[in-house]
Structure 1
Amino acid sequence: MTATDAHSPATGPGPAPGTDPDAAAAALHRTARLRRRLAAQLLFELVVPLGSYYGLRALGAGQWLSMVAGGLLTLPWIGYGIVRQRRVEAMAVFALCLVVVGALLSSITGSPRVLMVRDSWLTAAIGCWVLGTLLTRRPFIMTASRGIVIAKVGEAGLVAWEARWDAEPTFRHHLRLVTAVWGAVFLLDAVLRVALAYTIPVDSFPLVSTVLWLALLGGLLTFHNWYLTRNGLKL
Structure 2
Amino acid sequence: MTINAAPRRVGVVMPLLLDFVLPLGVYYGLRAAGVDQWWSLLWSAAVPAATVVVRLVRTRSLDFLALLILSMIALGMALSVLTGDPRTLLIREAWVGMLGGLIGVWLLASVVYGRPALMVIFRSFVLIKAGQDGLHAWEGRWHRDAAFRHGLRVLTVVWGVASLLNALAQLAFAYVLPIDAAPVAMQACWPVIAAPLFFFHLAYTKRHGLRA
TM-score normalised by L of structure 2: 0.80
| 1:129–1:212 Cα change, 3 Å | closer
1:77 aligns with 2:51: yes
In 1, the alpha carbon distance for the partners of 2:195 and 2:76 equals: 28
CA distance in 2, matches of 1:199, 1:130: 23
Shift of 1:52: 0.9
Displacement of 1:100: 0.7
Q: 1:51-84 CA distances to partner (integer Å, 9 max, x unpaired)?
A: 1111111222221111121121112322344456
Distance in 1 of aligned mates of 2:29 and 2:158:
36
Match of 1:5 in 2: none
Distance 2:154 2:6 in 1: 29
Give the equivalent residue in structure 1 for 2:178: 201
CA distance in 1, matches of 2:50, 2:197: 28
Q: What pairs up with 1:14-163 in 2 under 5 angstroms?
A: 35-83=9-57, 87-133=61-107, 134=110, 139-163=116-140
CA distance in 1, matches of 2:189, 2:64: 26
The C-alpha deviation readout for 1:23-66, integer Å capped at 9, x for no partner, is xx9xxx6x876654321210110011111111111222221111
Task: List alignment gaps of at least 5 residues for structure 2.
Answer: none
Q: Is the 8 A contact 1:50 1:206 kept in 2?
A: yes
Q: Which moved more, 1:141-150 or 1:213-222?
A: 141-150
CA contact (8 A) 2:26 2:44 kept: yes
Change (3 A) 1:105 1:158: same
Query: What displacement does 1:87 show?
Result: 4.0
Q: Does the 8 Å contact 1:67/1:115 carry over to 2?
A: yes
Q: Which moved more, 1:195-204 or 1:121-130?
A: 121-130
**Unaligned 5+ runs, structure 1:** 1-24
Find 1:223's aligned residue among 187, 200, 203.
Answer: 200
**Aligned residue number for residue 155 of structure 2:** 178
Out of 76-85 and 62-71, give the one that drifted further. Answer: 76-85
Distance in 1, matches of 2:116 and 2:170, equals: 26
The one-character-per-residue Cα deviations of 1:178-206 (angstroms, maximum 9, x if unpaired) are 22222222221222222222322211111
Identity %: 36
CA distance in 2, matches of 1:57, 1:186: 30
CA distance in 2 between partners of 1:54 and 1:210 (Å): 13
Alpha-carbon RMSD: 2.8
Comparing both chains, which one has the higher relative contact order based on Cα–Cα distances under 8 Å and sequence gaps of 6 or more? 1
Aligned equivalent of 1:212: 189
